[in-house]
């Protein structure tokens, strides 16, 4: 049984009690972590606050170098981190189209390296014989990072590295389902960064609430469900704490009638099912023109029936289990609802009879807007395929959903598709792709999918305040 400690002020910290971490491929405990409490929150926030003055005054070159060393530590420990990610999330080491633990750890390295090189330029508004006016970006202070269970290490990197690059210090709280890869990362980073610059506490959601509502926390970065994001925003509002919230998505993909179905079906399948559908920006509502509806359904169903589902540690596995039993029950409930609503199951539809939290990759036809499986985010391996006839109408239907994270248009006419994609009400839109993210392009949602952006210079600026400086000559 592996044991993992919290890290506060550069030191391993234990609690009076622990909690279990379950491998979703076996439904068995494989690790134990410390159960943090209010006293640990106070220690961590105090350590981060004390470390902030010195860290914020380090030079850009110093912070850049240290963050490159952090990237090097992740890379040097990549096999171990990959295994931890697979054991806690269930995602395969390789995965469907290479989307697995290797991508998660490799992406963490790449994002750290790229973000380390970002610069925040001084914006000179006026410089003449009268005065010089410039706008400077300054770090905020202590940043709280609250991360989800679907991409635990990668999303931790998305929060922490830009916060540190801008000169902030950090207190982290990972999801209690998947804390171990993040704990190992912070252990590695703590060997490189000054004490107190990065701290991590593990425990239930109530511990996260204590962090986000703390008066000495200057910003909250949160990725997770919309209801939890609203609670975090409420707890932060008492101190007017800034928030970046990347929340739930129910992304629509619209397939135009000019596509080659056999060529496009594998790309669509991957967009829907990578990480077993457990990605905020996965394609979750697939609208297909009536002229190709049946053919597309047959192609997708064949792919679903032949994809390799199993333990992520086994070679050749493409899709793993649902990460936790509660989420598995949500997927099953939505499948049952779709069946009751007259949905036609082209593949799957039930739990796989083996240990662990496995569910068959499922394609459901003949539902439409207003049915639960279409309107609600399943966050699992089940996708509704919805028929449409008019492009203007389907754009309106896609936009009717309360979420606005991502969306996509699939077509051989790239100019037409790009114009239609810009009509989608979402933070990111793709043509002939879906959910593809990169460290230099901003990503974030609108409507009920959140506020603020991550990645690149736009994301780095979210971890700063503006100070206007005027020097009269």
Per-residue pLDDT at 272 exceeds 90: yes
| Rounded Cα distance, 432 and 95, in Å | 21
280 is catalytic: yes
In a 13 Å sphere around the CA of 96, the CA atoms on its Cβ side amount to 27
Domain count, the chain: 2
One domain for residues 227 and 343: no
CA distance 222 to 145: 6
- Domain hosting 153: range is 2-247+449-472
Q: How far is CA 111 from CA 198, 318, 428, in A?
A: 17, 24, 19
∠ CA(186), CA(188), CA(193), 5° rounding? 80
Please compute, for residue 309, the number of CA atoms within 13 A of its CA located in the half-sphere on the CB side: 25
Helix (H, G, I), strand (E, B), or coil: what is residue 92? coil
What distance in Å separates the CA atoms of residue 469 and residue 255, rounded to the nearest whole number? 51
For residue 247, give the 3-state DSSP assignment.
coil
Closest by Cα among 421, 413, 369, 418 to 395: 421
Are 165 and 278 members of one domain? Answer: no
Give yes or no: residues 401 and 352 share one domain.
Answer: yes
- Asked whether residue 444 is domain-assigned, the answer is no
Provide the 8-state DSSP code for 219.
E
Q: Identify the DSSP state of 267.
A: H
Residue pair 426/407 in contact by the 8 Å Cβ criterion: yes
Q: Give a yes or no: residue 230 inside a domain.
A: yes
> In the structure encoding, which two tokens stand for residue 223, read together?
């990725």
Strand (E) or helix (H) holding 50? helix 38-56
Query: Quick one: which of 468, 38, 462, 420 has its CA closest to 221?
Result: 462
Show Cβ contacts of residue 296 under 8 Å, excluding neighbours closer than 6 positions: 255, 261, 265, 268, 288, 385
**Candidate list 33, 272, 280, 403, residue with the active-site label:** 280
Torsion-angle region of 258 (φ positive above 0: left; ψ -120 to 50: alpha; else: beta): alpha
Q: Based on the fold, state whether residues 293 and 230 are members of the same structural domain.
A: no
Determine how β-strand 283-289 pairs with β-strand 217-223.
unpaired
Extract the tokens encoding 349. 């539809």
Averaged pLDDT for residues 78-93: 98
pLDDT (average), residues 447-473: 97
Pick the catalytic residue: 246, 318, 454, 462?
246
- 425 shares its domain with 454: no
Task: CATH number of the domain at 455, please.
Answer: 3.40.605.10
The mean pLDDT of 360-370, rounded to a whole number, is: 97
Name the DSSP class of 396. H
Is residue 209 situated within a structural domain? yes
In this structure, what DSSP letter does residue 194 have? P
Position 463 in a domain: yes
The single-letter DSSP state of residue 174 is -
* pTM across the whole model: 0.96
In a domain, residue 389? The reply is yes
Let me know whether 457 and 374 are in one domain: no
Considering the chain, what is the average pLDDT of its residues?
97
Please choose, from the candidates 102, 120, 90, the residue with its C-alpha nearest in 3D space to the C-alpha of residue 30: 90
Shared domain for 338 and 189, answered yes or no, is no
Q: Establish if 75 belongs to a structural domain.
A: yes
Q: Which one, of 368, 460, 464, 395, lies nearest residue 111 by Cα?
A: 460
Question: Do 357 and 283 have their domain in common?
Answer: yes
Query: What mean pLDDT is predicted for residues 350-376?
Result: 97
| 10 found inside a domain | yes
User: Which residues touch 346 (CB under 8 Å, ≥6 apart)?
Assistant: 297, 298, 300, 301, 304, 363, 364, 365, 385
Position 1 scores a pLDDT of 84
pLDDT for 376 equals 97
Work out the angle at residue 261's Cα, subtended by the Cα atoms of residues 257 and 266, and round it to the nearest 5 degrees: 130
Average pLDDT over residues 397-419: 97
Burial environment of residue 377 by CB neighbours within 10 A (0 to 12, 13 to 18, 19 or more): buried
Question: Does an H or E element contain 173, and which?
Answer: strand 169-173
3-state secondary structure of 429: strand
Give the Cα separation of 404 and 400 in Å (integer): 10
Query: Do 299 and 240 have their domain in common?
Result: no
Percent of the chain with pLDDT over 70: 100
**Same structural domain, 188 and 154:** yes
CA dist list (Å): 463 to 71, 213, 289, 437 = 20, 18, 43, 20
Residue 431 forms part of a structural domain: yes
Letter string b/e over residues 46-57, b meaning 16 or more CB atoms within 10 A of that residue's CB: bbbbebbeebbe
Q: Predicted confidence band at 444 (pLDDT cuts at 50, 70, 90)?
A: very high
| pLDDT for 51 beyond 90 | yes
Q: Within 13 A of 201's CA, how many CA atoms are on the CB side?
A: 31
If asked whether residues 158 and 119 sit together in one domain, one would say: yes
403 is catalytic: no
Q: Same structural domain for residues 217 and 135?
A: yes
pLDDT single digits (tens) 125-167: 999 999 999 999 999 999 999 999 999 999 999 999 999 999 9
Who contacts 211 (Cβ-Cβ below 8 Å, separation ≥6)? 41, 44, 45, 144, 146, 171, 173, 201, 217
Alpha-helical runs (H) found in 77-225: 78-89, 101-116, 152-165, 180-190, 205-212
The domain that holds 352 is classified in CATH as 3.40.309.10
Sheet architecture: strand order including 18-23: 2-4, 28-34, 18-23
């Amino acid at each position: 049984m592996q044991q993992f400690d919290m890290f506060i002020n550069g030191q391993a910290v234990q609690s009076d009690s622990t909690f279990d971490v379950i491998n979703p491929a076996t439904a068995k405990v494989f690790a134990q972590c410390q159960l943090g409490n209010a006293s640990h929150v106070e220690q961590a926030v105090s350590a981060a606050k004390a470390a902030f003055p010195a860290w914020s005054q380090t030079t850009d070159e110093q912070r850049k170098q240290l963050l490159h060393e952090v990237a090097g530590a992740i890379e040097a420990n990549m096999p171990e981190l990959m295994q931890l990610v697979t054991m806690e999330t269930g995602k395969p080491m390789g995965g469907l189209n290479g989307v697995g633990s290797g991508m998660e750890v490799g992406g963490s390295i790449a994002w750290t390296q790229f973000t380390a090189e970002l610069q925040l330029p001084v914006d000179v508004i006026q410089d003449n014989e009268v005065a010089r006016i410039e706008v400077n970006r300054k770090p905020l202070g202590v940043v709280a990072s609250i991360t989800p269970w679907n991409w635990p290490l990668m999303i931790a990197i998305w929060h922490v590295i830009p916060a540190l690059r801008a000169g902030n210090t950090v207190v982290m709280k990972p999801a209690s389902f998947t804390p171990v890869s993040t704990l190992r990362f912070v252990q590695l980073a703590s060997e490189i960064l000054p004490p107190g610059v990065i701290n991590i506490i593990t425990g239930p959601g109530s511990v996260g609430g204590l962090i986000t509502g703390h008066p000495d926390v200057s910003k909250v970065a949160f990725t997770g469900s919309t209801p939890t994001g609203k609670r975090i925003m409420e707890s932060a509002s008492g101190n007017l704490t800034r928030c970046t919230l990347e929340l739930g998505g129910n992304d629509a993909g619209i397939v135009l009638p000019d596509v080659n179905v056999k060529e496009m079906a594998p790309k669509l399948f991957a967009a829907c099912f990578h990480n077993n559908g457990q990605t905020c920006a996965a394609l979750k509502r697939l609208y297909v023109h009536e002229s190709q509806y049946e053919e597309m359904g047959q192609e997708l169903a064949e792919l679903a029936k032949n994809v390799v589902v199993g333990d992520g540690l086994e070679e050749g596995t493409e899709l793993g289990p649902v990460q936790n039993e509660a989420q598995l029950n949500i997927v099953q409930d939505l499948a049952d609802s779709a069946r009751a609503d007259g949905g036609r199951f082209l593949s799957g539809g039930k739990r796989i009879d083996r240990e662990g939290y496995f569910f068959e990759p499922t394609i459901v036809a003949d539902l439409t807007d207003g049915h639960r499986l279409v309107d609600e985010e399943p966050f699992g391996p089940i996708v509704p395929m919805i028929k449409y006839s008019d492009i203007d109408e389907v754009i309106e239907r896609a936009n009717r959903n309360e979420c606005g994270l991502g969306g996509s248009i699939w077509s051989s006419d790239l100019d037409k598709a790009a114009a239609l994609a810009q009509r989608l009400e979402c933070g990111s839109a793709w043509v002939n792709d879906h959910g593809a993210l990169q460290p230099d392009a901003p990503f974030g949602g609108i409507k009920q999918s959140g506020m603020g952006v991550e990645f690149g210079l736009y994301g780095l600026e979210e971890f700063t305040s503006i100070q206007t400086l005027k020097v009269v000559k």
